[in-house]
Structure 1
């Protein structure tokens, strides 16, 4: 999961550069298409197998497509550190869903950590003195919620499917679902942007495969806190490449989110 977190942060940074010339919905479709080629090729290499549990698979794909579109919109319209912080805080919702849906045991102190994490996110997305709600941060929150449901579906699918099978077939379906949003905003993509998206697609494909493997090995409540390692990296990358210095709200929110995640990891 640590490898997945670092690969995911790097892919967001690359796509933020690409969003300077292309709409985030087109970027999402192009990234999904390229990731499908990578994962599809890997699946053909090892030998494809049919996906089992079709309803859960369909739910995972719909939630995953929505999460991706919302995330890339947020990535283009909000600071990288804030977007990554909000998106990674989905672990707290995932923990709650793991208890309610997968019947995993969550102790009372962990529920306090979940509340702590939610409080941190509220602080991050609250409007500042200069304006109203940020659509980018709200989109990041929606992406986090949709991704939580998607990861729960992935965990359920790992009971009967190999991680590569889940990742490859999911990516193919998500690509098809993202196409209608890309068509209205389509522009001829410049070669530099395509190169950036291709690199990001490879990183995200490897991140998805690493995450699916992690979920297949242990409980969702165990591996999810490790995903937060990407928060610190994203904050550093956003500052170095975009001059995005985290404000007080992001810092306080990060302390609460990382504190809650650290507590969960220590009690595992």
Structure 2
């Protein structure tokens, strides 16, 4: 259930990778993200609706996003891409967030998190079908393996199969994959702080309109949870992007699966819920699938970089 980090950051020529630092940042991001969804689940149980959760998630994340953007770029926050592109990204992002929080509300936290890890699987499918990117038998095999993991987690022999929670969780992963592809294109012309800043800012007016009907009174504990929801969500987004700034994708992205550990602990501490053996088995297959897809992408990118260099060397020789 990893949220897209904002966009691939622009890499300066004078910056050297710091892989250990990047890994630590990504692990902290996954802890914050798991905490965000755990808080969202607590708020639903306390009577909050999804409209409120999305609004306060963005409202209290805005100071984090704005502070990061101003500290990084100063006042140079005018987008290079057309504003309609940012508006479309905001609509998709809010829809994905709605589905992901809905999945957490309907399913145990660890199970919802595990199904969210199908995002790379959907991204691979969409890249092949929509972007016409070459996808070999290895990655298609990984896609199939990941869906076998989903089937195992869903217990085909039980009423859980094709349940509302499962459908919402898979839909959330699909929309998140679409957002990731949009961000891949947007990141070619826009820096990550700009994308995150405008996503947070543009989401507040429509969510504010929703709050006319969705807003409710809450006790002090509820308000504290809303503030924590926004701060942890904003911090997770910042940390995810920072990790990609200091380390290569092939090292950073596998750390996302640590979110399952935090989600399991939170489920056990807050709801006395421990994943069933089928959940662990299915999650393992999904994780192997996602890691293999990431590794094949790394191999493909290395090959695309090495081949032109070898070609130039051959011509110069």
Deviations 1:53-102 (A, max 9, x none): 23432332111000111111221221001111111221211233345556
With the length of structure 2 as denominator, give the TM-score of the two structures: 0.74
Shift of 1:204: 1.4
Out of 62, 77, 84, the residue aligned to residue 49 of structure 1 is 77
CA RMSD in angstroms comes to 2.8
Out of 140, 158, 168, the residue aligned to residue 169 of structure 2 is 140
CA separation in 1, counterparts of 2:211 and 2:148?
Answer: 34
CA separation in 1, counterparts of 2:257 and 2:166?
Answer: 18
Q: What secondary structure sits across from 1:129 in the alignment?
A: coil
2:55 pairs with 1:12: no
Question: Which moved further from structure 2: 95-104 or 198-207?
Answer: 95-104
Out of 62, 67, 90, the residue aligned to residue 96 of structure 2 is 67
Q: What is the aligned partner in structure 2 of residue 90 from structure 1?
A: 119
Shift of 1:7: 1.9
2:28 pairs with 1:28: no
Q: Which has the larger radius of gyration?
A: 2
Q: What is the aligned partner in structure 1 of residue 87 from structure 2?
A: 58
Change (3 A) 1:248 1:183: farther
Shift of 1:145: 0.9
Q: In 2, are the aligned partners of 1:36 and 1:175 still within 8 Å (CA)?
A: no
Change (3 A) 1:139 1:182: farther
Change (3 A) 1:211 1:99: farther
Change (3 A) 1:26 1:184: same
Q: In 2, are the aligned partners of 1:35 and 1:202 still within 8 Å (CA)?
A: yes
Unaligned runs of 5+ in 1: none
CA separation in 1, counterparts of 2:275 and 2:95?
Answer: 27
Number of aligned residues: 268
Change (3 A) 1:70 1:182: farther
Q: In 2, are the aligned partners of 1:90 and 1:148 still within 8 Å (CA)?
A: yes
Shift of 1:181: 4.5
CA separation in 2, counterparts of 1:99 and 1:219?
Answer: 23
CA separation in 2, counterparts of 1:240 and 1:62?
Answer: 34
1:127-166 equivalences under 5 Å are 129-130=158-159, 133-166=162-195
1:1-268 equivalences under 5 Å are 1-21=26-46, 22-45=48-71, 46-54=74-82, 55-100=84-129, 106-125=135-154, 129-130=158-159, 133-213=162-242, 224-267=253-296, 268=298
Q: In 2, are the aligned partners of 1:62 and 1:177 still within 8 Å (CA)?
A: no
Q: In 2, are the aligned partners of 1:65 and 1:174 still within 8 Å (CA)?
A: yes
Shift of 1:218: 8.3
